[in-house]
Structure 1
Amino acid sequence: MADDRLFNVQRRERLMEELRRHGAVRVKDIAQLLGVSELTVRRDIAALATQNLLTKVHGGATLPTELDSAPPRRSRPAVSRFTIGMVVPSLDYYWPPIVGGARTAAAAQGVHIQLRGSSYDPAEDRRQISRLIEAQQVQGLLLAPTLDGPGADEMIDWIAKLPVPVILVERQTPRWRRTHPLLEWVRSDHALGLELAVRHLYDHGHRRLGLVLSKGSPTSAHLAEGWESACADLGLPNDLVLRDTVGLDQPGHREVIAQLLARCRKTRTTALIVHSDPDAMSIAQYCAEQGLVIPDDLALIAYDDEVAGLAEPAMTAIRPGKPQVGRVAVEMMVSRLLEGKRRPTQRVLIIPELIIRNSSVPRPGVDSGGLRFPAPVRELQEG
C-alpha cells in the first residue's frame, strides 16, 4: 500500500511538471507519456483539482488561475475590462500550447481572450481579424497571420493600420518599414534552437550533418538561418538540406526518405535534424524497417517536441517555448494597454530548449563513423 501511494505521488508530480511546462495537458498525451490508462490520469487530475493545483477541462487540465479560487483582486479593476482578440492559423498541433499559455496569463491578469481559428490563408486571416474589430469588443489583438508570398507587405501594412494595438505571435515583420517601424512581436528563436541541435551533435563527434525542413512551414526560414550560421561557425559542410515533407501521411514519403538516406550513405552523413516530429518519426520508422539502428547508424533530432518523446527510441528534440510565447504576448499587450505610448516598443525572442533523449547520444562502445547499411537494402541501392 505504501508503494502504491508513493507511485501515485510520483505520477502526479510528473503530471504537474508537464502542466507547468506547457500550461495545459491532454489526458491522452499524459497517459502515453506515463504508460498508464487514461482513466488513471483522469483520477489524478480529479485529485489534484480538489487541491486547487489545476483546473479540469474537457479532455485534460490547465494551470489554476485566480478566477478558479478567489474573486478578482481589487488592485486590478482597470485590467479586468480588457478583452484581447487572438487569431491563430490552426487549433491543433503547434498552437494549443501557445493558446494555453495565453489563456493562463490572461486569467492571471484578469483579462478575457476571444479566440478565433483561421487557416494559412491571408484572406481568411483578414476575415477573422475584421470580425473581431467590427464587433468593437476587443482592445488589442494577438495575431499570427500568414506573411509568406507576394501579398505579405500589403498584409503587414493593413495590420499596422488597425485601430487597436497589435502584437504578432510567432511572426515578425522586416526589421524596418517606414509605414510601421514600431510593430511589436514575440516569437521563438528558431534559428538559435537549430544551432543548439547542431552543436549538440558536434559535441558528440558528428562532423557531417543533414537538415530536413518541412515544406511550406513559416518556421523553415528561421531554421535554415540557424543551420547556415552554426555550420559556418563550426566549419561544417551545409549542403545536405532536404526541403520536403516526409510524414507517414504524405504520398511518396518512402521514396523521398530512401533518396535522403542514399545521400547520407554517399556523403557519410551520421546525423539528421528533422522538422518536425512526425517527419522525424517517419524517418526513424523507415530506418527500423531497413535494419538501421538509431543512434548507432544515424543520430536523429526532431524539431518541435510535440510527440518526439513517444518515438522508439525516444527522440532528442528542440522544444520551442510555446506556452511562454503565449504568456509573454498577453503580458506585453496588457502592458501596452495600461501604459500606452509611454512603454517602449518590444520585440521578444524566446529561446527553445534542447531535450536530450536516446536518439542522438552514442551508446558506450559504439562508433558512429557513417551510415552502415546492412545488405541487402533494396530500396536504397543506387543505380
Structure 2
Amino acid sequence: MRESAAERHDRLLALVRERGSARVSDLAGQLGVSPVTVRRDVETLAERGLLDRVHGSVSWPENGPAATASAPGGGPVIGLIAPSATYYFAEVIRGAHEAAARAGARLVLRISDYRPEEDKARAEGLLAAGADGLLIAPAWRGAEDQAAYGDWMAQLPVPAVLLERTPAPGSPLDDLDRVCSDHRHGVLLAVRHLVGLGHGTPLLVARADSPTALAVRSGYEEALVTLGLADAPAMIGTSGPEVDPARFEEAMQEVRTAVTEGGVTAALVHNDVDAIHLVQRLSELGVRVPEDLAVIAYDDEVAALGDTPLTAVAPPKRQIGRYATELLVSRLGSVQDDDEPGQHLALLPRLRVRASTTR
C-alpha cells in the first residue's frame, strides 16, 4: 500500500524529534524517498511551525512545535490512532468524533493500516502537531506485536487511553486507562442463546488474526465451562476468503461435515463478512440456514444485510469511542493527581436476534 503524505510527515517528524536535528539528504535515505520530496515536506512542516530549517538541515524547535492544530474556542486537541477507518473502527471513530465535538475538542485521526511498527510514528506526528492527549487502538494482531511494538506507549508525555486493546497483565501498558468491549460476555450471550433454543454445543468458526478474534476464541472456551457444556470445544480455524481462499474452503467443508455427520446444529462465526460467505457457501453445499444450522455472527457490521438476516453479537463500538474520549477529556481537564485511579472500562455487547436462529 502506498504511503500517504501524512504518514511520511509523521515518520519525518519522529526522526527529527529523536535526533534533535538532521540533514535533508540523510532524511531522504531514511525515509526511502527523493531529496526533492523531503525538501518539499520540510517546507510544509516548517510553515506549520513543526520544524526549523537551516542550510540543508532541519531541527526540532527549541521550545517544541507550535500547537497549530488547536481546537476552535481553545479546547483540547485529541489525537486518535486507529488500525483502520472502515468496518469495525468506523463506528469507534464516529463515537470519538461526536464526543470530542460535544466537549469543544478537535479530533485528529491517523491510520496505521494494521502495521504495528508504524504506531509510534503516528503518535509522534500527532504530538508534533499539538495533540494534548491520545486515543490509541494499536495495530496489534497478537501478543507478539505488543511485546515488539508497545513499550513506547508507557512513556508518552501526554495522557493516553487505549481502545479495544487489553495489554498483557502486569505489563507497563496495563497501567494505562483503557476502554474495551467485553467480548467474553458477548460470546456467552451467543452460546447461551443457542443452547436456550435447544441446540447442543455450538461450533465456533473464527479467525486468529486480530485481538477481537483471539478474545472470541478464549471467550468461547470460557462460555462452555460457564454453561456446563461437557462436550469438548468444537472450534474450526479459518481465514477470510479474500486472504486465503483455499483455507476458507477447507473450513467450509469441515463445517458441512460437522453438520451432516457430527450432528452440529448451531454455529458462532467471527466475523460478519465471513458469516455471510459461510451461509452462501453452505447453501451451495446443501446446508440450509437456519433449518440445518443456526448461525450467529460476531461484530454486527453487515450481518443484517445477508440473504438470511443474521443474528449477531454487537460490540458497543460507537460507545467505545465516546467513553474513551470523555475519559481522556476528563484527564486533560483535571489537575494531575497521583491519587486519582486509572480506569479499565469494559462495555457489554448486545445480542440482536434475526432470522438465522429462528426455525
List aligned pairs for 1:51-130, cutoff 5 A: 80-130=74-124
Match for residue 224 of structure 2?
A: 231
Match for residue 327 of structure 1?
A: 322
- Tell me by how many angstroms 1:244 deviates: 1.4
List aligned pairs for 1:1-383, cutoff 5 A: 80-135=74-129, 137-147=130-140, 148-177=142-171, 179=172, 182-236=175-229, 237-247=231-241, 250-252=244-246, 253-342=248-337, 343-361=340-358, 363=359
Distance (whole Å) between structure 2 residues aligned to residue 79 and residue 263 of structure 1: 61
Q: Cα deviations across residues 166-203 of structure 1 (Å, max 9, x unaligned)?
A: 100111222323x4552111011111101100000010
- Tell me by how many angstroms 1:151 deviates: 4.6
SS of equivalent residue, structure 1 residue 267: coil
- Tell me by how many angstroms 1:80 deviates: 4.3
Distance (whole Å) between structure 2 residues aligned to residue 348 and residue 149 of structure 1: 20
SS of equivalent residue, structure 1 residue 219: helix
Distance change in 2, residues 1:151/1:204 (3 Å): closer
For the 8 Å contact 1:80–1:109, the answer to whether it is kept is: no
- Tell me by how many angstroms 1:130 deviates: 1.5
SS of equivalent residue, structure 2 residue 211: coil
For the 8 Å contact 1:246–1:256, the answer to whether it is kept is: no
Q: Cα deviations across residues 23-69 of structure 1 (Å, max 9, x unaligned)?
A: xxxxxxxxxxxxxxxxxxxxxxxxxxxxxxxxxxxxxxxxxxxxxxx
Distance (whole Å) between structure 2 residues aligned to residue 119 and residue 233 of structure 1: 36
What CA RMSD, in Å, does the superposition of the two structures yield over aligned residues? Answer: 2.0
SS of equivalent residue, structure 2 residue 256: helix
Distance (whole Å) between structure 2 residues aligned to residue 239 and residue 108 of structure 1: 45
TM-score normalized by the length of structure 1: 0.70
1:209 alignment partner AA = P
SS of equivalent residue, structure 1 residue 354: strand
Distance (whole Å) between structure 1 residues aligned to residue 174 and residue 210 of structure 2: 26
For the 8 Å contact 1:79–1:334, the answer to whether it is kept is: no
Query: Which runs of 5 or more structure 1 residues have no equivalent in the other structure?
Result: 1-76, 364-383
Distance (whole Å) between structure 1 residues aligned to residue 183 and residue 285 of structure 2: 32
For the 8 Å contact 1:141–1:165, the answer to whether it is kept is: yes
- Tell me by how many angstroms 1:296 deviates: 1.3
Distance change in 2, residues 1:181/1:294 (3 Å): closer
Distance (whole Å) between structure 1 residues aligned to residue 96 and residue 215 of structure 2: 23
Range moving further from structure 2, 155-164 or 104-113: 155-164
SS of equivalent residue, structure 2 residue 292: coil
For the 8 Å contact 1:144–1:169, the answer to whether it is kept is: yes
Distance (whole Å) between structure 2 residues aligned to residue 80 and residue 130 of structure 1: 22
Distance (whole Å) between structure 2 residues aligned to residue 110 and residue 298 of structure 1: 49
- Tell me by how many angstroms 1:229 deviates: 1.4
Range moving further from structure 2, 114-123 or 103-112: 114-123
Query: Which runs of 5 or more structure 2 residues have no equivalent in the other structure?
Result: 1-70
1:291 alignment partner AA = G
1:182 alignment partner AA = D
Q: Cα deviations across residues 221-253 of structure 1 (Å, max 9, x unaligned)?
A: 211221111111222224311121244674223
Distance (whole Å) between structure 1 residues aligned to residue 201 and residue 118 of structure 2: 42
Distance change in 2, residues 1:217/1:182 (3 Å): closer
Distance (whole Å) between structure 1 residues aligned to residue 252 and residue 242 of structure 2: 11
1:218 alignment partner AA = P
- Tell me by how many angstroms 1:344 deviates: 2.3
Distance change in 2, residues 1:232/1:149 (3 Å): closer
For the 8 Å contact 1:319–1:352, the answer to whether it is kept is: yes
Distance (whole Å) between structure 2 residues aligned to residue 140 and residue 265 of structure 1: 54
SS of equivalent residue, structure 1 residue 212: strand
Distance (whole Å) between structure 1 residues aligned to residue 174 and residue 305 of structure 2: 43
- What percentage of aligned pairs have identical amino acids? 37
Aligned residues: 284
